[in-house]
Amino acid sequence: MSLSPIVEYLLAQRRPAPDSGRIGSPLCFPARWQFLVPLIPPGAILSFTLTPPFGAYIGIKHAATFSNAMNPGTLFWDVSQGGNKFSFGWIEDDWVTHPLSYFIVFSDAEPLYAQLTNTSALNQQFIATQWTILIPTEEDWRLVIKHLDAYSQINTEALAQEANALLQRLVGLKKGGGG
């Protein structure tokens, strides 16, 4: 699975090194873990609360994949945070063959809540792998926010340059009678 450009950017960032002239330590760290529920009885509803592991201050979930050993259309997934539901639906073939991509910030103070319901008449299993960025401290989180702001400026300028170049080419085609 390839990483999105914003995730690659964040993972490449370093803390400022204290007066040494050397490169600082990583600002955030990749984490991956697997959820495995080997037996979910018919009609069972399982609830999960997700907070950053390993004592991290903030987590950013950016992708999930599901095992092809699961039966499509038998498990209903519902994810919310602070009363806002942002992901729900039956786990289908498309969820298994294509990773889900998102950018969800969560913490001990604002955890993610998930519910998994077996809607079939048979026992089912749930196997998912989650990819997350972990930010160790509140100070690191402030730096990450600055980097996200800088990244958005870089992308805005690059997109504007690309749009201008495309417009120039279109205008040139129109003037030249081509196209």
pLDDT at 172 (0 to 100): 73
Q: What are the distances in angstroms from CA 4 to CA 40, 102, 107?
A: 33, 10, 22
Report the DSSP beta bridge partners of residue 64: 100, 130
pLDDT at 174 (0 to 100): 62
pLDDT at 95 (0 to 100): 67
pLDDT at 20 (0 to 100): 62
Residue located via tokens 């600082």: 24
pLDDT at 143 (0 to 100): 92
Report the DSSP beta bridge partners of residue 137: none
Q: Where are the domains of the chain?
A: 5-176
Q: How far apart are CA 88 and CA 140, in angstroms?
A: 31
**What residue ranges of the chain have pLDDT lower than 70?**
1-2, 19-22, 95-96, 155-156, 159, 173-179
CATH of domain 5-176: 2.60.120.340
State the pTM of this model: 0.77
pLDDT at 178 (0 to 100): 52
Q: What is the CA radius of gyration of the chain?
A: 21
Q: What is the largest CA-CA distance in the chain?
A: 69
Q: Which of 53, 109, 50, 107 is nearest to 77 (CA)?
A: 50
